[in-house]
Chains A and B, each alone.
Chain A
Amino acid sequence: MSNPYVIPAIIVVTLATVAIGFYGLTLARTTSDFLVASRMVSPTWNGAAIGGEYLSAASFLGIAGLILKHGVDVLWYPVGFAAGYLALLLFVAAPLRRSGAFTLPDFCELRLGSRRLRKLATVFVVFIGWLYLVPQLQGAGLTVATVAGGPYELGALLVGAVVTGNVALGGMRAVTFVQAFQYWLKLTALAVPAIFLVLQWQSDGRPAVTPEAGTVFPAATTVVVEHAATLTLPDGTTREVRPGDELSFAEGDPVPKISSVDAVDGADWLLPGTAGDDDRELFATYSLILATFLGTMGLPHVLVRFYTNPDGAAARRTTLVVLAMVGTFYLLPTLYGVLGRIYTPQLLLTGRSDAVVVLLPSAALGNGLTGQLLAALVAAGAFAAFLSTSSGLLTSVAGVLSTDLLGRGSVRDFRLATIVAGLVPMLLALYVSGLDVSQVVGLAFAVAASSFCPLLVLGIWWRGLTDVGTAAGILVGGGAAIGAVLLTVVGPELTGWPAVLLAQPAAWTVPLAFTVMITVSWATRRRTPADVAATMLRLHAPEALRL
């Protein structure tokens, strides 16, 4: 499939990102200016920037793909991604801003006065940052391979290189403008094609999403098999297929089930899992909800943004703006997933469901000018998603690396750290092309929820927290989540309860982290910082008092 507008659209987005970055560079002068945008960013810009930074490849591509495959049960992903900002607003936003902490390690030192805890937090920030960067680069590779026919490696390396260069040269101020621009671009890139798609669906006579006879191909389709699998036709007969086999289907043919792709059909797709048939499914749902609700506040690139608010009250209002902006955006991927069921059912056979957003416009609207232009717009939006999220992540990872591990936080150290921090995920993305984008992102949320969420919540609201308790909680809870991540990604294939407990670990690792942190803090209560009362005053006293 060739679309002459896709490559130019991607190039324009990339150039615009770099250009805005350089516009910002001329404004950046001193070190503090460079890192925190002088706290002069207005709430609207800041809100759009946070939204732009947050809506990643998982939001732009992954959610629609999951909905295409799994249906209503995965709607918890967008709900959880948005609700994470509510948790952030309720428990963290204003006090964190008042603390004056710029990063999570900063917060550790301010609240608990421990240098060693600071280092431990740094290690976790870097780990979560990299875990989250890899799927962004993977998504870029997938998009290039799908819509432009280029090699996977090209997309991954292109995004990695542009982001690394831009962050190294522009710093945070530039990134703020870039991110705000990216939010509006991403919203437009999904909203405009969505209008055309719904109109097309109307004029096609509103085909049913889950027809009685099962999903059918809307047009003649040829699918090339990638993995050996068993094909189950609707009449119950089965057939073995091998890699390289070409399967041809005529218009109106039913879509067979394939054993290599874990997708659900009919009523299972349309209706939530019921208690009788699977307790594990309910557990996985609640675990996912917990990870996304509580993980957002622990993501390193989200917290940095709060420092650019002038005060605690502004931080609260900005968070509310973000919640509204992110919520508006999340109305759209669902629509793509549902319409993908009608217009791109071949993805259920190939398993490449992450591609549904970029394939849908041309599949539904045909390869005419409108279809091609809209496909190019969506591809541009997808690239905006990779560029913005990876820029934010890289800024945070490079920030903590340059202040805590590699140097003392000068602009030169920051640039060096950016290059180091950018190269690692680029190499990883080349080696792990087989992982599911949304799954990796979900694991990053689980690690953040089991390490930094207890640190922030207890640190802000409980005087009894000690440095030893915090370290123990982060190591046990976060360590358990990391162990689960590694076992899921590189370990043996598991089934039953162990598989669920490791694939969605948050439901047990988050309570574990809280319990350990509270118990050990209580046992070491002599180590409570002497200045805890002053810290509490600073975290919670309104700015109007000008203390």
Chain B
Amino acid sequence: MVLAEVARRRARPDLTRAELTQQTEVGDVLVRGLVRAQLALALRLSLVVAIGLGGLPLLFAIAPRVAMAKLFGINLPWLLLGVAAFPFLVAVGWAYVRLAERNEQDFTDVVQRPER
């Protein structure tokens, strides 16, 4: 069984959303807008991680004093990498899920807006 074929068979056209499914210009613009919004969101949040976490090795390398600082008797790099990194990642992920769902809600609202 090739699941790609099953999935392809299932894709059925739905006349009520004709603009999107028949790929009219309007539909195409809408989808491109959604894809761009979601990609921009993902890139922005990965930039947050790239700077927040990815900057640490460079920071420790050029400012060894920071690496020697202590908090609660533990060296800062151990606390940052061993503990703080994980809640930080979860927080970024949580923000992404919320914002991505909002983007999708906006898209749904535009598509389902009653005809004027």
A541 in contact with B75 given A328-B86, A331-B82 (CB within 8 Å): no
For chain B, the bracket of interface size reads 35 or more
Chain B CB within 8 A of A409 CB: yes
Pick from A270, A273, A540: contact of B38, CB under 8 Å: A540
Q: Is A259 an interface residue (CB 8 A)?
A: no
A472 to B109, CA, bound (A): 40
Q: How far is the CA of A289 from the CA of B54 in the complex (A)?
A: 8
Q: Is the interface of A mostly helix, strand, loop or mixed?
A: helix
Give the Cβ gap from A164 to chain B, nearest Cβ, in Å: 22
Give B57 Cβ to nearest chain A Cβ, in Å: 5
CB distance from A105 to the nearest CB of B (A): 8
Contact B89 A83 (CB under 8 A): yes
Q: Look across to chain B and name the residue whose beta carbon is closest to the beta carbon of A87.
A: B46
Q: How far apart sit A362 and B76, CA to CA, in the bound complex (Å)?
A: 30
Contact call B89/A86, Cβ cutoff below 8 A = yes
A545 within 8 A of B: yes
Residue of B nearest to A329 (CB): B86
CB of A526 within 8 A of chain B? no
Binds B, one of A72-80, A149-157, A213-221: A72-80
Decide if A247 is an interface residue (CB 8 Å cutoff).
no
Q: Which of these, B17, B85, B90, contacts A79 with CB under 8 Å?
A: B85
Query: Contact: A410 with B1, CB < 8 Å?
Result: yes
CB <8 Å contact, A541 and B53:
no
CB-contacts of A47-97 with B (<8 A): 72, 75-76, 78-79, 82-83, 85-87, 89-91, 94
Smallest Cβ-Cβ distance to B86: which chain A residue: A327
Q: In the assembly, what is the distance between CA of A475 and CA of B101, in Å? A: 36
Binding stretch for chain B, among A227-235, A477-485, A531-539: A531-539
A302 to B116, CA, bound (A): 46
**Given known A72-B77, A86-B89, A320-B93, contact A403–B82 (CB-CB < 8 A):** no
Q: At the interface, is chain B mostly helix, strand, loop or mixed?
A: helix
Nearest residue (CB) in B for A75 is B81
9-residue interface stretch from A194-202, A311-319, A515-523? A311-319
Residues on the B chain within 8 Å of A328, using CB? 86
Chain B CB within 8 A of A31 CB: yes
Chain B positions 42-92 with a Cβ under 8 Å from a chain A Cβ:
42, 45-46, 49, 53-54, 57-58, 60-62, 64, 67-68, 75, 77-78, 81-83, 85-87, 89-90, 92
Could you say which residues of chain A place their CB within 8 Å of the CB of B1?
A: 31-32, 35, 403, 408-410
With A91-B42, A282-B58, A331-B83 as known contacts, state yes or no: A271 contacts B77, CB within 8 Å. yes
| A497 is an interface residue with CB less than 8 A from chain B | no
Chain B residues closer than 8 Å to A316, beta-carbon distance: 96-97, 100-101
Cα separation A79 to B80 with both chains bound (whole Å): 10
Chain B residues in 8 Å Cβ range of A272 = 57, 60-61, 67, 77
Question: Are B96 and A90 within 8 A (Cβ)?
Answer: yes
Q: Is A100 an interface residue (CB 8 A)?
A: yes
Instruction: Decide yes or no: A320 and B94 within 8 Å by CB, A79-B85, A271-B64, A541-B31 being known contacts.
Output: yes
User: Do the beta carbons of A75 and B82 come within 8 Å of each other?
Assistant: yes
User: Are the CB atoms of B81 and A540 closer together than 8 Å?
Assistant: no
Contact of A536 among B31, B45, B90 (CB under 8 A): B31
| B115 at interface by CB-CB < 8 Å | no
The answer to whether B3 touches A90 (Cβ under 8 A) is no
Contacts of A324 in B (CB 8 A): 90
Complex Cα distance, B82 from A330, in Å, reads: 8
Q: Give B10-65 interface residues, CB cut-off 8 Å to A.
A: 10-11, 14, 17, 20-21, 23, 27-28, 31, 34-35, 38-39, 42, 45-46, 49, 53-54, 57-58, 60-62, 64
28 A-B pairs with CB atoms under 8 Å apart are A75-B77, A79-B86, A85-B89, A86-B89, A90-B46, A101-B4, A106-B2, A106-B7, A270-B75, A271-B67, A316-B97, A317-B97, A319-B93, A320-B94, A327-B87, A331-B82, A331-B83, A331-B86, A403-B3, A409-B1, A533-B31, A537-B27, A540-B34, A540-B35, A540-B38, A541-B20, A544-B105, A545-B108
Other CB < 8 Å A-B pairs besides A100-B10, A316-B96, A540-B34, 18 of them? A31-B1, A35-B1, A72-B77, A75-B81, A78-B82, A79-B53, A83-B49, A90-B46, A101-B3, A271-B75, A282-B61, A320-B90, A323-B90, A331-B82, A403-B1, A461-B39, A534-B23, A546-B14
Residues of B in contact with A (beta carbons under 8 Å apart): 1-4, 6-8, 10-11, 14, 17, 20-21, 23, 27-28, 31, 34-35, 38-39, 42, 45-46, 49, 53-54, 57-58, 60-62, 64, 67-68, 75, 77-78, 81-83, 85-87, 89-90, 92-94, 96-97, 100-101, 104-105, 107-108, 111-112
